[in-house]
Structure 1
Amino acid sequence: MNIKIVFTLILFSCLRNLSAQEKVVAVSGKFMEQNSTLYISKEVQRVLFIKTKGHFVLPEYGFILMLTEEDAIKYERKYLVIIPSKHGYEFNDSKGKILNLKVCQLTPDNPFVYCIKNDIISNDINKEFFKITTIKDTIEYRQVKGNQHKLTYTKEWIENIDNPKEVVIKTSSRNCGITGKYLREFESKSVFYKKSISHLAKQQLHYVANLFREIDRDNWTKKQWQEWFENTINTELKTLKDCNSKNWNKPSYFNNNFRDPAKFNLNSSNNQILRIEVNPNYKKYQNKQILAFDLEQGKEFKRKFNPKNIPNGIKAIESNNDHLYLINKHFKWFHYKLNTATDNYDLVSKKDILPPKFTKNKKRPPIDQTYTNLTNMFFTFQTEDTKEIYIVSLKTKNGETTAIKSITELTKRVDIKYDKKNSSIARLNYGSNTSQYFITAFGSHTNYYIIKMNSDLNNISLSKVSSKIQDKFTAIQSSNLIQFINQDDDYYNSGKNPKINIWTYSLDLKKVNEQFIPVNHHYNKYSSIIVKNKNGFGIVSTHRTTYLYQITYREFDNNKKLINEKCVYSNLPIEEIDSTNNLQLEYLKKINSKMYLFFNDGKALRFSEF
C-alpha cells in the first residue's frame, strides 16, 4: 500500500557479512496498528541479495514504526519503515510495545534506509549438508523444499547443480475423511523417497531466477551460474552521484504534492520555467497555483492568480516578460500580467474563441490537442453529435481567432476514406514549437491521415499514414523535413525487441522513408519525451535496471546514429512501483547549453540538469 505521510525507510533484514565499517545506529519506536505495511520493490530485494551474498530470507513487506518522541526529534520525522527478516512474524506480538533496533545504512542514496546484521538465517539445513550428505542420510522435506522467500545457500546450491548424489527425503502422508459435518485426519504416516542433490539445487535456484530476470534457468551451465553469482555479489551499486553529479549537490526538489496535472512553459525573456496547475482554483493549490523556477539561481517563486479571475481547466500556456497567455477547456483565451508588488497575475483581458454555435450546449466537446508558440495557438476538438473534427487557429498575444475549419472542409478537394462516425484525433506530441505550421493526425480503423497547414488553416498538405500514428508519436519539423518518432516498446514485455520508429516526410508530406533503431533497454514509451536537438533528436525515458529506477537521455544525429547517452537521474525504489510513486516525466527544455528536465519522483517535483 502507499503511505500518505512523509516517512523514512529502515530496512531490518536478515543480512550477514556486512562490512565492519558500516555505521550502526539505534532506533526506538512501536508499530502502528492500521495502514502499517508496504510492499517492497524487487530492486531492494536484489540489493539485499548482494549484501547477504545470496543467503537470506526474502523480505516482502515493510512495517511502519512510530518513533519515540526522542527519536522523532533526532530523525526529524515521526515514522520509519522496518523491513523484517521473516515476513514480520517476529513482530506479530510487538504492536504497541517499544522496540529498540540496531540498524546500518543500505545505500548512500537512501541515508535513512537501513539493514541489520543477523547470522541466524534458518533452522533448516546448514553448510554441512553439502559436504557429508550421503544416501544413508535422511532429510526432512521442509528443510530442502523450494521456497520463493528462502533464498539461502545460493552459492552452495550452484556448486551442487550437477551433483548426482542422492539423499532420502522424509515427508508425511495424511489420510482424511468426513465424520458427520467435519473433515478429520484418520491417519498420518511417514513417506520416504530419493532425490538427487542436483534436483534439489535446481528447485531452489528456480526462485533465484525469479528475482533476477537475466538468468536462463533452463539452459545455463554450472559455469554460467558461477560466473553470474560472482559478478552479482561483487556488484558495486551505482549512486545518484555516479549517475549525474550535477544533480547531486543542488537543491533539486520541491516539497509539495505535485502529482496532479500541470502545464509547463519556458519564459524565454528571463529563462524562468513556469508551472501552472491545470485547475488552479482548487483550495489545495492556493500555495502553488503558479510556480516560477529560476534554475540558474536555484530559486523558486510562488505566484498566484488574482482570486477574482482564476481560470479553470487550462489546456495550454505561453509566457513572455511579465505576460501570460492561456486557453482553457471552456474555449476561452486569457491574458494576464504579473503584478510584481503582489506576485499576483492580474487579468488584462479574456475572449471567447469560438462562436456560440459551438458552445451553446452545456456539455462542450473536449480540446484534444494543442500546439502553441508566442505567435499562434492551435487546437483541435471533435463534436459529439456529428463527430466532425475541427481545427482552430488564434493569435497568441491578442486572442483573435484567425480561422476555424473542419476536416471535411480542409480535405474537400482530396479523395480520402475514413469512417467519420468512428473517427478520432491521433494525439501527437511536438519535439519543438518553433514552426508556424500545425500538424495533426486523424482517421478511423486502418485509415489514418496526417495533415499540415499554416496559421490561416490554408496551404494544406495531406498524406495517408499507418494507424500506428495513434501510438504516442512525436512530430519534429526542421527546415527541410518532418519526422514522426516513437519509442516502440512494450515496457512490460521483456520478450519484445524494443526499437525507435522514425517516419520521415518532406515538408509537403511526401513520404521519404521509414526506419527503426534497435535500442538496448526496455524503456517506457508512456514515460518518454522526444525533442528536437541540433540536427537530430533526443529522447529522455524512464526504465528499470536490475537495481535502480532510472531516467536516461539518448541523443541521435541526423543519420539516426546514437551519439550520446547519459544517466539523468536514478534512485533505489523502496516500495514497489505503481502509478502514485513512479517517475513521471513532465517537461524537458534546453536553456542556453544545458538541458533541464522536470519530473515527479513520487509526490516530489524534481529537476535535473544535464
Structure 2
Amino acid sequence: MKVLIFTVFMILSKLVFAQNTITVSGVFKENYRAVRLSNEVNRLLFIKTKGHLKLPEYGNGYFLNLTKEDAARVGFDDILVIPLRSEIYQSDKNLVKLDLVQLSENEPSVFYTKQSKADSEATYGTKIFENPSLKDTVDWNEITQADLLYTKQWIDNLDNEKQVMLKSYILYDTDKGSGSSVQFSKIMMKELAKERLHRVNNLFTGDRREWTKKQWQVWFQKTINYQEPTLKDCNPNQHSISQIYKYNDGNTMIFGTDHSSGKIIGAQMLSYNVDRYQGRQMVVIDSSKDAKYDYYTGLQKQVYNIRAFESVDKNLYFFDYYGNWSFFEFYTVENHYVFKAKKEISIPESAGRRADSYVEQLQTSEKLTYAITKNDKTKEFYALVLKTQTGENLITRSLKDILGNTAINYRKNFELVDLKYGLKSSNDFVFGIKQGDEYYLVKTDEKLENVKCIKTTKALRHSTLFVHDKTIDLLKSDHNNLLKISFDKGLTKQLSEQHKSIENWYYDEDGLVVYDGSNYKLFAPLKLEQHSGIELLTLSSDLEITNKQCVYQFLPLEVPEYTNMMHLQYAAKVNNNWWLLFRQESSLKYVKIN
C-alpha cells in the first residue's frame, strides 16, 4: 500500500511540474529569513524568461510556508519564492495564492512568480522598437532601473540612429531651496540601447561594453538557449550529514581515517561551545556503505580541546591542547566507541611546570607522535616523541638544543609555522619555524637527532608536506595559485619551484592537495557561469593538468557568504576510492570518487 501511495504521489508531482505553472497557497511568515539571491539565480531567471523580466526590487527571495494540502501535493512544507511581480511582504496573517514556475530541476523547491503581461511591460511599450520617432518619450529612470525588459529588442537597436525624446530630471539646490525640474532632450536609440544593456553586461561574466550588434546577438541566442545540466549526474555518490556545524563555529572539526575498518572519522575539537555537541562529538562514515554514518553516543565521553588523533585497529587515540592523551576503544558488538583512559603526558622538570605548557604542534602516525610544546612562562619550546597508543613520553628535548648546530640563530621570539602532513609513512619529524622575517624547514629523526634544516620562504605557512624516499615536497593551494617546492631528502638544497594558476576558481577558498602513490591530485573548488562545484585534477610532475574528474556541483542560491559557501575539509583514499569531505552551510557533505 505504501508503495502505491508513493507511486501516485510521484506521478502527481511530475504532472504538476510538467505543466510549468503551479498554483499554491501559503503564508510568508514574519520569522522566516529572506534570501539574497545570487548572480547565478538571476542569470537563470534571465535565461528562463528569454531576457525579458523585472528582477526582484530588493534582490531577495522569500520562504513560503505552504498550506497542508499544498505541502502534501508539492512535496515540501516550505518553498523559496522569487517575486518577479510586486515585492513580497512577510505577514503571519495574510494567506496568499500564487501562480509559480519552478526555477530549476536542480533546486526543486525554488520557484518564481509567473509574469503577467502587465508585469512585463514598460511605459514606453514595444512601438518604440518598431518605428521610433521624436513622438516617443522614454523616461531615463526606466532605462537605468533594475528591470531587464526587452533585452532582445534593445540589442537589435544597437545600430539604430533614429531619435526619440528622453525625459530626465535635474535636481537643484540653491539658497532659496531645492527641488527638481523635468528636462526633455533628443537621444539616438543606439545610445539608449547601450545604456540599457549595461545592467545585462554586469549580470554576466566578461566585458561586452564594446561589442557590436552582431556580437551581442550571437551571445544572446547562445545564452537563452542554454540547457541546464542535471548537476547531480556529475557524481551520484554524494551524501550529507545535516546540522553538524553551527553557523558561527568556523572550522571546528578534525578528521582521520582508520584503514583497517575503512572508516573516516570526524571529531569536533570542542575548544568551546561544548554543550552544542553533547552526544555527537564524533561522526564516523563507513566507506563500505556510502550513505552509512553514525554518531557515537552511549558511553561516549567528551574530550575537550583536541588537536589531533589517530585511529588504529578501530581504536581512537586523542591528543589535546593541554598535553593530555585519551583512549577510546571500539566495541564491535555494541558498534560504538567507549572511553577507556585519559592521562597527562609526562614532561620532565627541566621543561618547567607542566601546568604552564601547551601543545603547539603535532605530527601523528600509528606508532609515534611528535609534539612541540611551549612553556607559557619561560617561552621555551620543547619537542617530544610519544607512543601514539599509550601516550608514553619517550624523548624530550628543547628546540634550543635541537637547533644548536644549525644555521638558525635561535631566539625565544621565534614562532612555529602551521603545516599539514600529506603522508604518514615517514619516521622523520618535519616542522617549520619563523625567526624574524626568515622561514626554515627542519627535519629530525625519531630520536630528535640528525637535525637538518633549510631556509625557505613564507610560502611554507599553511602548506602541505609530503616526505618521500628521496625528496620532501611542499605543496600549497592558495586560492587559485598552486605552488610546489621540492627539496632533497637531506634538506641540503632546493631542487625546484613550480607554479600553476587554476582557472574558474571558487572565490578565496583553498584547495586540497593529495598524493595517490604516483601523482599529486588537487581537489579544486570551481565557480562557473551558472553553477559551482569541485573537480579532482590529476597533475603531472610539472603541475600540468592531465585529467579532470567532476566531484560535486550545485546551483548557488544566495549571495556568497562564509556560512553558505563550500569549505573543503579533508580527503582520503580508502579501498581504492577517494573520499572528499566538505562543509556547506550547517552540513558536512561527503562524496566518493570512483
- TM class, shorter-length: 0.7 to 0.9
Equivalent residue for 1:37?
Answer: 34
**Alpha-carbon distance change, 444 to 575 in structure 1, aligned in 2, over 3 angstroms:** same
Q: Which residue of 2 aligns with 1:84?
A: 83
> Structure 1 CA distance, aligned partners of 2:70 and 2:159?
52
Give the Cα–Cα distance (whole angstroms) in 1 for the partners of residues 30 and 506 of structure 2.
39
1:278 aligns with 2:269: yes
1:556 deviates by 0.9
The match for 1:585 is: 568
Query: Per the alignment, in what secondary structure is the counterpart of residue 539 of structure 1?
Result: strand
Structure 1 partner of 2:483: 501
Residue 154 in 1 paired to residue 145 in 2? no
Q: Give the secondary-structure state (helix, strand or coil) at the position aligned to 2:563.
A: coil
Which deviates more from structure 2 when the two are superposed, residues 123-132 or residues 548-557? 123-132
Which among 385, 396, 407 is matched to residue 404 of structure 1? 396
**Structure 1's 47 and 389: CA in aligned 2 closer, same or farther, altered over 3 A?**
farther
Out of 210, 213, 235, the residue aligned to residue 222 of structure 1 is 213
Identity %: 28
Closer, same or farther: CA 170–608 of 1 in aligned 2, 3 Å: same
- Give the 3-state SS of the residue equivalent to 2:533 in structure 1: strand
State the alpha-carbon separation in 2 of the partners of residues 589 and 224 from structure 1: 46
SS at match of 1:580: helix
Matches within 5 A, 1:164-179: 164-173=161-170
The equivalent residue for 1:27 is 24
| 1:293–1:189 distance in 2 versus 1, CA, 3 Å | closer
- Counterparts of 1:323 and 1:125 in 2: how far apart (Å)? 74
State the secondary structure of the residue aligned to 2:568: strand
8 Å CA contact 1:536, 1:560 repeated in 2: no
1:469-498 CA-partner distances (Å, limit 9, x unpaired)? 22x321112221111112243xxxxxxxx4
Aligned residue pairs, count:
566
**Cα-Cα RMSD:** 2.8
In structure 1, what is the equivalent of residue 245 of structure 2? 258
In the alignment, is residue 239 of structure 1 matched against residue 246 of structure 2?
A: no
CA distance in 2, matches of 1:468, 1:113: 43
CA contact (8 A) 1:166 1:195 kept: yes
Per-residue Cα deviation, 1:153-186 (whole angstroms, up to 9, x for no partner): 222222222333332212344666688xxx675x
**Residue 554 and residue 368 in structure 1: after superposition, are their counterparts in 2 closer, same or farther (change >3 A)?**
farther
Q: Determine the C-alpha separation between the residues in 1 that align with 2:182 and 2:194.
A: 25
Shift of 1:503: 0.6
1:446, 1:466 within 8 Å by CA — same for their partners in 2? no
CA distance in 1, matches of 2:317, 2:283: 15
Farther-moved stretch of structure 1 (103-112 vs 115-124): 115-124
CA contact (8 A) 1:501 1:514 kept: yes
1:383 is displaced (CA, Å) by 4.2
Moved more, 151-160 or 505-514: 151-160
Query: Are the structure 2 counterparts of residues 479 and 93 from structure 1 closer, same or farther at C-alpha, using a change threshold of 3 Å?
Result: closer
Q: Report the secondary structure of 1:199's partner residue.
A: helix
Shift in alpha-carbon separation, 1:55–1:382, aligned structure 2, 3 A = farther
Is the 8 Å Cα contact of residues 585 and 600 (structure 1) preserved in structure 2? Answer: yes
Counterpart in 2 of 1:473? 463
Q: Residues 110-134 of structure 1, C-alpha deviation per residue, up to 9 Å, x if partnerless?
A: 1212234314323333332122112
Q: CA deviation at 1:406?
A: 3.4
State how far apart, in whole Å, the 1-side matches of 2:355 and 2:198 are.
60
Q: Which residue of 2 aligns with 1:556?
A: 539
Which amino acid counterpart does residue 537 of structure 1 have in structure 2? Y
What is the distance in 2 between the residues matched to 1:575 and 1:37?
A: 10
CA contact (8 A) 2:124 2:136 kept: no
Distance 2:90 2:509 in 1: 44
Q: Name the CA distance, whole Å, in 2 between partners of 1:71 and 1:287.
A: 37
Mapped to 2, the partners of 1:343 and 1:286 lie a distance apart of 19
Aligned equivalent of 1:303, options 292, 296, 304? 296
> Deviation at 1:296?
2.0
> What is the CA distance between 1:356 and its match in structure 2?
7.0
**Counterpart pick for 1:485 among 475, 482, 503:** 475
The structural deviation recorded for 1:76 is 5.8
**Any stretches of 5+ residues in structure 1 without a counterpart?**
1-18, 490-497
- Tell me how far 1:524 sits from its aligned partner: 5.2
Q: Could you tell me how far apart the structure 1 residues matched to 2:259 and 2:178 are?
A: 79
Structure 1 equivalent of residue 311 of structure 2: 319
Distance 1:159 1:465, change over 3 A: same
- SS of corresponding position for 1:379: strand
Contact 1:487–1:525 (8 Å) recurs in 2: no
Contact 2:122–2:149 at 8 Å: present in 1 too?
Answer: no
- Hey, what does 1:495 align to over in structure 2? none
> 2 CA distance for matches of 1:169 and 1:393?
80
The match for 2:7 is none
Q: Per-residue displacement from partner, 1:24-50 (whole Å, max 9, x unpaired)?
A: 333211122244422111111111111
Structure 2 counterpart of 1:429? 420
**1:572 and 2:563 correspond:** no
Q: 1:577-600 deviations in whole A, cap 9, x for unaligned?
A: 212122122221111221111122
Partners of 1:499 and 1:528 in 2: how far apart?
Answer: 9
Query: What are the residue-to-residue correspondences of 1:405-420 with 2, within 5 Å?
Result: 405-417=397-409, 420=412
Matched, 1:68 2:55: no
Q: Deviations over 1:254-274 (max 9, x none)?
A: 233335522222111110112
Q: Which residue of 2 aligns with 1:138?
A: 137
Asked if the contact 1:475–1:484 (Cα under 8 Å) also holds between the matched residues in 2, the reply is yes
After superposition, the Cα gap between the structure-2 partners of 1:302 and 1:558, relative to the gap in structure 1 and judged at 3 Å, is: same
What is the CA–CA distance in structure 2 between the aligned matches of 1:103 and 1:525, rounded to whole Å? 35
1:419 and 1:443 in contact (8 A); partners too: no
Counterpart check, 1:105 vs 2:102: yes
- Given that residues 445 and 467 in structure 1 are in contact (C-alpha distance below 8 angstroms), is that contact kept between their aligned partners in structure 2? no
SS of alignment partner, residue 43 of structure 1: helix
Aligned-partner Cα distance in 2 for 1:346–1:409: 40
TM-score w.r.t. length of structure 1: 0.85
**Contact preservation (8 Å) 2:564, 2:585:** yes
Deviation at 1:101, TM superposition (A): 1.7
Distance (Å, rounded) in 2 between the aligned partners of 1:139 and 1:96? 40
The Cα shift of 1:534 comes to 2.3
Q: Which moved more, 1:546-555 or 1:374-383?
A: 374-383
Structure-2 residue corresponding to 1:48: 45
Matched, 1:334 2:326: yes
CA offset digits 1:212-271 (Å, max 9, x no partner): 122342x33333322222222122223223422444xxxx22233335522222111110
Q: CA 1:20–1:75 in structure 2 vs 1: closer, same or farther (change >3 Å)?
A: closer
Out of 173, 182, 192, the residue aligned to residue 200 of structure 1 is 192
Q: Which residue of 2 aligns with 1:163?
A: 160
Aligned to 2:453: 462
Q: What SS is found at the alignment partner of 1:527?
A: coil
Name the structure 1 match of 2:577.
594
Quote the offset at 1:387 in angstroms: 4.3
Contact 2:357 2:373 in 1 (8 A): no
Tell me which moved more, 232-241 or 587-596: 232-241
